[in-house]
Every structure is written in C-alpha cells, then in structure tokens.
A and B are shown apart, each in its own frame.
Chain A
Amino acid sequence: MALVLIVVLPLAGWLVNGMAGGRLPRPLVSVIGCGTVAASFVASAMAARHLAVPSDALTATLFTWIAAGDFTVSAGLLMDRLSALMALVVTGVGFLIHVYSIGYMADDSAYSRYFAYLNLFVGSMLLLVLGGNLLVLFVGWELVGLCSYLLIGFWFDRERAANAGRKAFVVNRIGDAGFLLGILLLATTTGTLQFDRLADAAGAMAPGLLTATTLLLFMGATGKSAQLPLYVWLPDAMEGPTPVSALIHAATMVTAGVYMIARLHPLFLRADFTLSVVAAVGAATAFFAATIALVEWDLKRVLAYSTISQLGYMFLAMGVLAMPAGVFHLTMHAFFKALLFLAAGSVMHATHGVVDMRRLGGLAGPLRWTALGFAIGALALAGIPPFAGFFSKDLILEHAYAAAQHGGSVALWLAGLLTAYVTAVYITRAAVLTFFAPAGQRDHPHEAPASMGGPMAILALLSFGGGWVGAHAAGAPLLRVLDRFFAIEPAAETLPGAPLTAISVAVGVFGIITGLLLYRRRREVTLGALGAFLARQWYVEALYDAAVVTPAKRLARFAADVVETRGIDGAVNGIAGLVGQAGVAMRRVQTGYVRNYAAAILAGTILILSYWLLRGP
C-alpha cells in the first residue's frame, strides 16, 4: 500500500491546493505543496529499503482496468530498483524545487494554482515511473505532458508563453502517436503490457515486429525527451517559471523517454537496429544542441539546449548498451541541471527577470552564492572531476568507445567527445557572461532568500559529491545495483579506462579554457557565418516552418475559407433551403379544413382497399 501512497500523496496535495488553495493562506499552501512531496519522498525511501535483492519488486494491483477476451490490463504499480531510483530522484529533486518555488513565486498572484500544478506533475511523474504496465506508464506520460503544457503556459496572459505551451503539446502529440502505436503493436503481438512479463514476450516476437515496435516506442521518447527531430518545443518551454524549467524540463519529465527505454530494455536489447538508431539520434542530438547553445543569448535557453544535449548523451548510452551509465547520467544530470536552472532562476529573481546574457554580467559580486552554485553546476556539466557529471559522462564515453571496439561506429564516440568539448565551451560562456563579464546598467541585485538558497545548496552538494555513487574508485554502488538490474555483463573490465578518462577530462578542461579565452573580455562573440548558422538552429525551425507549419496553415485557411464557407455551409444552407422550399410548397396541403382531411383519409383508405382487392384473395 505504500506504493499507492507515494503516488496519491502529491495528487492529494493537488486536489487540496487546486480546489481550495485560493482561499487558504499562502503558508498553508506552501506546506501542503511541499509536505506532500516530502512525505512521498519518505514513503519512496521506505519502500525502496525492501529492495535488497536486485530482482526484488514491490507490486500493488488496484483493479482490473481493461478486460477484453484474453487481454487484460490491470491498474497496477511496480517498484523495482530502477523505478525506486527514479521515484527518489523525482520526489527528492521535486521537493527541493518545491521549496525553492516558495521564494521564487512569492509575489505571484496565482500562487496556489502554481503549487497545485506542481503537485499534479509530481503525482503524474510518479505514476509514470511506478506504473506496473505500459498503459499505466502511458497515462502518467500523458499527464506529465499535460502538466508541462499547463506550466509552460502558466503565465497564459503572455502570448509567447501560451504559444510555447501549445507548441510543446502539439510536438509531443506527434511523438505520442508513435508511442501509442508502439504500445498497441506490442499489445496485439504479445498480448501483454505487463513489465514483468516483457522479457518472455519479447523473446517470442518476430525480429521485424520487434524492430517496428521499439522504433515506434522510441518515437515517443524523442517527443518527450526532446530529441531530434522533435526537440523544438523544449527551448520554447523556457517561457514557464524557472523552477518549472528545472523540475520538468530538465530534471524529471524530459528524462521519461530515457526511463521508458530503460524500463523496456528487454525489448530494446533484442532490437539491434533500433539500438543503433537510438545511439545515432542521441549522439546527433547531443552535438547539434550543444552547438546551438554556443550562440544562444538567452540564459535559460542555453540551459534548455544543454538539457537536450545531455539527454542525447543518455540516449547514446542506451544505444550502446550502457543502460546503467545512462540512468546514472540521468540521475546526476537531474542534480546539476536543476542546480543550474535554480541558479539561473536566482539570477532572474535578482534582476527582475532579465535572461538575456548581453544585459547580464558582473553578478559574481552581489550574487556570490548563486555564482558559486552555478559554477559547481557548470563544472559538473563540463565533466570536470570530481563533480557529478564527470563520472557519468565519462562512463558513457567509455562505453561508446567500447561499442566502437566491438564493431560499432567510432563516430558515436567522437561525437560524444566533441560534444563534451562544446559543452564545456558554452557553459563557460554562460557563466562568464552572466557572472564575470562587465556589468550592464541595472539597479542593485540582491541575493535570493533562504527558501531558494537552501535547495540550491543541497543540489550543489549533490552535484559536487553525488558522482561518487557511480565512481569505480569508490566501488560504484549505484552501478553495481543497476548492472545487475539490467542483466548486462559489466563492460567496465574490458575498457581502457585510464587513457579514455584522461582524454575526456582534457577535452573538458580545454573547452573551459577556450570559453574563458573567447569570452573573458569580449561580450559579442558571434563566430561569424558559423554563428549565424547555429543561431538559426541549423535552419531546422525554418525547415519545419516551410515544410510543416506553413502548408498546415495554408490548408487550414483553405478549409476555413473554401471548404467551410462554400462546402459545408453551402451544403447545410442548401439542405435547409430545400426543406424550406418544400415546406412552402406543401403548406398548401394543410388547408385547415377538417373535411379536406377526412376526404384525404378516405382517399387513402380507398387506395389501400383497391390494392387489396386487385391483389386478389
């Protein structure tokens, strides 16, 4: 029952804050919002203690949801080591960001609505993570999509925010269509969506069907996790409140695609082609997004592209069978990217919403602690030891290299390495421009309140030291747990660990130095034609505009102007007119004289009678 409690607690918070929050005092709203998530975290931790053996799993079946012939789906929850880790990350980071929001959103008029949405998100995400079958996961998947939409468009009176929310929703729909098709294909071919029966089911599937199913499922992942070609919504999603960006669009929701592949690893491990696609898409996205982050001026959008890039790393890890490393990176990324976003939020809090790095600068003095937190997050992102990101990113690169040794493409590793370099450059650029470059004109910035500083401090600690749970030098407790869960033989022994690590550290340091050299003095570094090309996002948005958006708008206009007015309205009005004409013609029959009616009745009777007589006996 503890499992149910984990999911239900934030949902209860949502109900209370959503229905009565407007009439409750703000401190109470905060306590309900944060308290339910904290309680959920405690419940998750207590439940996770029961998972001593890797194969252990807690299950809770609530009721039979769908029963059609032999096919049944129950509304059930499942907690094994993977979902326990995810639940802890979601509730833990979620709790910190809830607390941060108390300070960040203190002046907002829709305070209780914000917390209601946030609680709904945490509950939905937990449903996604703890779902016992693919359909329950899908429900959570759609619910977090809804929350994402609601929170991106939280300030719906701003047109940009409303448009961004709509864009996120529409783009996610495309991926979700594939995801749903994949689920249906899986259900029809194997007859089960239950996670604990997937391994057997996958073994019985034909290779072609398995590839098709996994590719469709991966399509859903590219939508939710903002991979090529469906990444376009995530940068725009930065219109939402910054804590939302930290929680949903960096730490948790966007990793749902990675989690889904990890959750369905029995399927993906048997589909070699899909895995190569996953790896290629991941590597390409990682590099692509990192290059755009290099020229983006909006601090939050830099972080958004960084998120896309890091998610690409995770998919690369999934694709090269380094699933433990991928999940490890997911966890670490949740820490340091949340930290970076919260620091960015602190900057916005101090400067009253300025995110354009051309107008920022010189904040290291007044925002000492924020700068420190951002620096720790940046170092973790850049992969500098001993920060959290170093261990996980290094592990992924090692696995990519090992995959190249075993017949894979060396391009994956090179792309990863190059991305690591670009990553170090752009995050250095962001840090320098925001905190160290000469200050623009502005009023006096002030450091964030304790409710914002506390969560940042904890995340900074996690970003600083959290990586040791996956460090081989420290015995890598997390990796050992996950290795056994995924039932993949640990590849670490076969890796040429030390030289690779040296290379990736060198790349990171080199990138930081590059960034410092480039941006230390000058603010406007445009990188020439290449910069312009990158600033246009490799013309992907333009391509979408030309290929999809404009034709769709034209089609809609055609439908509205021609089909609607002439076709449908014409048909409707024509039919109405026809009926009207008929009525005008036939009203003459209704003389109002009873005797006429009687004569008509008699005539009818005569007709029927003659018919019977003529037909004979």
Chain B
Amino acid sequence: MAVELIVFIFAAIASVAGGVGVIGSRLPVRNALSLLLVLGSLAVTYLLLAAQFVAVLQVIVYAGAIVVLFLFVIMLLHKQLGKMSPDRLRWQGPAGLVLAAAFLTLILLTIRLGAAAPTAPAPAEFGTAESVGRALFTAFVLPFEVASMILLVGIIAAVVIGRPAAQPAAAVGRSAATPVGASRR
C-alpha cells in the first residue's frame, strides 16, 4: 500500500512546514493560517490511523472554531500586534534552541528504544463515530459530564475576564472588582 506511505509523507511535510510557519512568521495572520495547515494535515494522518471521528473532530473544533477564534483576536488587536519592546532576554534564544535540540534528541532516542510491536489490521468499525460514542457514553460518561462542566466554566470565565474593566468599577473609584490585568504600573 504505497498510497498510504505517500499520503503520510505529504501530510508530514505539510504539517512540519506549517509548524515552522507557526513559529517562524512575523505576521500573525500567517501564523494562524500555518496552524490551520498543521491541523488539516494532522487530520489526514488521523484518517490513516483509522480515527475517522477524531479527524472530523479535528477539522470541526480546531480548524473550525479555534483557528477562527485566533483570527478574530488577531483582527481585533491588529494595529498593535507588531509593536514589540526591545528584547531583554539575550540568552533566552540560544538557550531555548539548545534545550529544544536536546529534548528532540532525547525524544527520538526513546522512539528508537521502544520496540514497535507488530500491528494487526484495524477492524472496520474501529475509530468510527459509533464506536467512540459507545465508549464515551458508557465507560467514560462521568468524565464526559465533567468535561461539559469545564466547558461551561470556561465560557463564564471568558465572559468575566473579557468584560471591559473600565466603566463601572473605575467610575466608582473602587479597585476591588477590577479583573485580571487591569492593574496599571
């Protein structure tokens, strides 16, 4: 099945290229679109790994929601996004590169060490929405419900944090109710 290999190689190249774009580009919009490239190509590899449901999830949630959210914020903050103070951490860059390289080496070593067991062909229903859903609503129903609670909390938190700080609190002159980040030097 050379097709699979070819698809993987293409997906891998695309995702690494996207990753480089995410961290490399100076333009925020380009960063976000590179992220989209990564996410899309990873969805393809998921399909190769018999994870249809996850692949769909990846496209809908990540590509559809999260990247769009990033883009919204980028457009919101567009004007000032380029403004950066002069770099104060001179050693951060080289040190970070060294650390990242060391980490990569170590991780690859672990992969080399881990003996890949022979893999059986996947059953037809493996990774379908049905099989994932079955597991999700039986054995994992409690974490699932907890996850929904986390979502709710996140929504409320985002609303509270994102609410404009200035008007009511500052007008009265109280500082107690000011949200995160509202304090000034």
Contacts and interface: CB of A to CB of B under 8 A. Distances in A.
Contact of B103 (A595, A596, A609, A617): A609
B176 interface: no
Contact of B99 (A593, A599, A610, A617): A599
A110 interface: no
Contacts of A506: none
Contacts of A605: 103
Given A613-B109, A613-B110, A617-B113, A606 B102 contact: yes
B113 A613 contact: yes
A613 B92 contact: no
A593 B106 contact: no
A602 interface: yes
Interface in B64-107: 88-89, 92, 95-96, 99-100, 102-103, 106-107
A603 to B, nearest CB: 6
Contacts of B95: 599
A474 B102 CA distance: 112
Contacts of B100: 602
B89 A602 contact: no
Interface in B102-121: 102-103, 106-107, 109-110, 113
B134 to A, nearest CB: 35
Nearest to A595: B92
Contacts of A613: 106, 109-110, 113
Contacts of A609: 103, 106-107, 110
A599 B92 contact: yes
A603 B92 CA distance: 13
Given A596-B89, A599-B95, A606 B103 contact: yes
B99 A606 contact: yes
B106 A610 contact: yes
A64 B119 CA distance: 73
Nearest to B114: A617
Contacts of B102: 606
Contact of A602 (B88, B99, B109, B110): B99
Contacts of A602: 99-100, 103
B37 to A, nearest CB: 24
Interface in A573-603: 593, 595-596, 599, 602-603
B103 A593 contact: no
Nearest to B103: A606
Contact of A606 (B89, B92, B96, B106): B106
A331 B39 CA distance: 103
Nearest to A598: B96
A605 B95 CA distance: 15
A131 B89 CA distance: 81
13 contacts: A595-B89, A595-B92, A596-B89, A599-B95, A599-B96, A599-B99, A602-B103, A603-B99, A605-B103, A606-B103, A609-B103, A613-B106, A613-B110
Interface of B: 88-89, 92, 95-96, 99-100, 102-103, 106-107, 109-110, 113
Given A606-B99, A609-B103, A610-B106, 8 more contacts: A593-B88, A595-B89, A595-B92, A599-B92, A599-B95, A599-B96, A605-B103, A613-B106
